Amino acid sequence: MNICFCSQEYPPDTHVGGIGTYTYNMAGALAALGHNVHVITSTPWEDRDYSENQVTVHRIRYRSFRPLELSRLNYAHRVASRLKQTGCTFDIIQASEYASEGFWLSLFGKTPFVTRLATPSFLIERLNGKSFASRRLFCDVMEKQQTLRSAAIYASTKALAAAVAEGWGIEKHRIDVFPNSVYISRIVTLGRNGALPENLRGVAYMLYFGRLEERKGVRVLADALPSIFERFPDIHMLFVGSDLGYRGAPMQDYVRSKAGRYSVRLRFLDNLPHAKLLPIVNEAKLVILPSLWEAFGFVCVEAMALGRPVIASSGSGFEEIIDDNVSGYLVEPGDWRALADKIRHALRDETGRTSIALAAEKRAQDFEVSRIAGRLADYFEQIRGRCLQQGRSAEAGFVS
């Protein structure tokens, strides 16, 4: 098949989150199966085309401007234009709903268009404690309309499918559930063969990695840390990720203020490439991911693949990855006292951590990209066959 992924995030230029991780993993895996795969993505530099891992990558320079909705509409139009310039007749085109980069594509053409749900903007705003501003309503409309006009919609977890169905009034049966995937072998190789930074050698540390923002539960973790530091005098806390702030100030400031006299045991690193990040993950005593809600959690699977005991939040996508007290630990989201109790329990129970580490490694194998890529290709074939049979028009989710 000729497959095109539209993903504004794509390493190395713009790898900032799960959308980029998913696209990079799946594009390479499908290409390895013999499919002709293209990716249309962004760059802060000049436009360029190149081939990597048997995938043809088309970079578009992204220029953000105000208002946000016009910036997104402009980029969506440029994506559609660039797709035509490839000169390839695609069998399937896929984009995530976030930022509506497939909005223009979902309006016109003849090729089946698929929306893979990530996390819509309305849900992100809600989780970050914000009301969805009226000026952002058009952004929500674009994301929703792209999704509704797609030939198929799928989500990585039942939790995400349910949240979007409820939020946008979509019939649940319209959203398929298809798990995300990770290059487990690559994660293990980089994590266990890479070099740990010298200033972390010999240090007992817990780790959070991901964006430092409200919806990721960083504030909740900060509230829990003083009681941990008090009872475990040798433990440190390391945060790795971009600081998106909290109430107009850096999130780091809030974390330091809560730690008080224990702040000397806090460490912060900015977002790191996998080659530098994974050796740090591999040596963590615990990985703590206290999101208020999570659609899936690539970071969770990556940590589990390296045999790290993970403490994550119940009630969202993490529950579909972790079996509580078997392959990891789950705790009620937003409850810092419960989180502190769970951390203390895990740090004391060395035998339990060892058992969970082994089960975590085994569970992570279920998300190996080579297993899932073939299933996704079959899914794409079914969508393409169904669309050809039904003879859908442009109004029903086809693009050129």
Amino acid at 222: A
Residues paired with 399 in a beta bridge: 111
Q: Is residue 229 part of a domain?
A: yes
CB-CB contact of 97 with 120 (8 Å): yes
Examine the domain organization and report whether 37 and 76 are in the same domain. yes
Examine the domain organization and report whether 157 and 198 are in the same domain. no
CA count, 13 A, side-chain hemisphere, 215: 18
Q: Is residue 134 part of a domain?
A: yes
Positions in the chain short of pLDDT 70: 16, 109, 130-135, 391-400
> How many Å apart are CA 101 and CA 119, to the nearest integer?
14
Examine the domain organization and report whether 129 and 204 are in the same domain. no
Examine the domain organization and report whether 166 and 268 are in the same domain. no
Examine the domain organization and report whether 147 and 6 are in the same domain. yes
Q: Is residue 394 part of a domain?
A: no
Amino acid at 251: M
CB-CB contact of 396 with 151 (8 Å): yes
How many other β-carbons are positioned within 10 Å of the β-carbon of residue 270? 10
Cis peptide bond upstream of 120, omega within 30: no
Residue tagged 């079959």 (tokens): 378
Identify the pLDDT of residue 130. 67
CB-CB contact of 376 with 26 (8 Å): yes
Number of domains the chain contains: 2
Sequence-ordered list of residues with C-beta below 8 angstroms from that of 280, at least 6 positions apart, any chain: 196, 197, 200, 207, 209, 238, 240, 269, 272
Identify the pLDDT of residue 393. 46
Examine the domain organization and report whether 193 and 339 are in the same domain. yes
Examine the domain organization and report whether 329 and 188 are in the same domain. yes
| Parallel/antiparallel/unpaired status of strands 48-52 and 235-240 | unpaired
> How many Å apart are CA 248 and CA 97, to the nearest integer?
27
Q: Is residue 397 part of a domain?
A: no
> How many Å apart are CA 113 and CA 103, to the nearest integer?
10
Q: Is residue 71 part of a domain?
A: yes
Helix or strand run (H / E) with residue 114: strand 111-116
Identify the pLDDT of residue 395. 45
The whole model's pTM is what? 0.87
Identify the pLDDT of residue 392. 45
What residue numbers bound the domain in which 298 lies? 184-367
> How many Å apart are CA 153 and CA 120, to the nearest integer?
13
Examine the domain organization and report whether 205 and 320 are in the same domain. yes
Residue tagged 């713009």 (tokens): 14
Examine the domain organization and report whether 136 and 168 are in the same domain. yes
Examine the domain organization and report whether 216 and 253 are in the same domain. yes
Question: What are the tens digits of pLDDT across the range 341-369?
Answer: 999 999 999 999 999 999 999 999 999 99
Examine the domain organization and report whether 208 and 154 are in the same domain. no
Examine the domain organization and report whether 99 and 212 are in the same domain. no
Identify the pLDDT of residue 58. 98
User: Residue 293 is encoded by which pair of tokens?
Assistant: 């809600």
> How many Å apart are CA 153 and CA 170, to the nearest integer?
10
Where residue 22 sits, what CATH number does that domain have? 3.40.50.2000
**Spatial CA neighbour of 121 closest among 173, 168, 67:** 168
